[in-house]
């Protein structure tokens, strides 16, 4: 089992995934700072100084932090947009280096159904 685990870890896909998760976590911290420290204050200027993090309402003992949810949605949209742009860019780069595939040669045309039936008929007559 240990050998199989080593082979799994040694595969490029597992290592790529691990690196992606680590970079994604670091990127999330950057996006969180971007949203909390730059975007939300900018939006606050346009909507009259509203701090999304402070928006909440309570029902009984429960406190619903609507502003935190709005911040999370903004962060998600920014991360999704950046990932989209990165994937699109990588796909374009990887496709520009490829040569267009030559059209496959047409397979040699076999006998038609009529020709096959005629051959079977002739074979049966010969017997």
Contact criterion met (CB below 8 Å) for 55 and 45:
no
- Domain region containing 24: 2-97
Q: What is the pLDDT of residue 34?
A: 83
In a domain, residue 104? The reply is no
In a domain, residue 109? The reply is no
In a domain, residue 20? The reply is yes
Print burial letters for 104-115: b (CB count within 10 Å at least 16), e (below 16): eeeeeeeeeeee
Print burial letters for 53-89: b (CB count within 10 Å at least 16), e (below 16): eeeeeeeeeeeebebeebbeebbeebbeeeeeeeeee
Contact criterion met (CB below 8 Å) for 56 and 64:
yes
Q: What is the pLDDT of residue 110?
A: 79
In a domain, residue 120? The reply is no
* DSSP H helices in 35-112: 40-46, 66-96
In a domain, residue 127? The reply is no
In a domain, residue 41? The reply is yes
In a domain, residue 114? The reply is no
The pLDDT tens digits for 81-116 are 887 888 888 888 888 766 666 666 776 777 888 888
Q: What is the pLDDT of residue 101?
A: 67
Q: Could you give the number of structural domains in the chain? A: 1
Give the domain CATH number at 78: 1.10.1200.120
Q: What is the pLDDT of residue 9?
A: 67
In a domain, residue 25? The reply is yes
Residues of the chain where predicted confidence (pLDDT) is lower than 50 = none
């Amino acid at each position: 089992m240990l050998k199989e685990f080593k082979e799994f870890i040694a595969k490029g896909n597992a290592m790529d995934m691990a690196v992606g998760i680590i970079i994604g976590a670091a990127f999330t911290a950057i996006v969180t700072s971007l949203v909390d420290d730059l975007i939300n204050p900018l939006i606050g200027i346009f909507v009259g100084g509203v701090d999304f993090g402070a928006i909440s309402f309570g029902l009984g003992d429960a406190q619903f932090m609507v502003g935190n949810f709005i911040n999370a949605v903004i962060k998600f949209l920014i991360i999704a947009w950046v990932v989209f742009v990165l994937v699109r860019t990588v796909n374009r780069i990887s496709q520009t280096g490829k040569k267009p595939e030559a059209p496959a040669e047409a397979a040699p045309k076999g006998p038609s159904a009529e020709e096959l039936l005629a051959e079977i008929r002739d074979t049966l007559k010969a017997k």
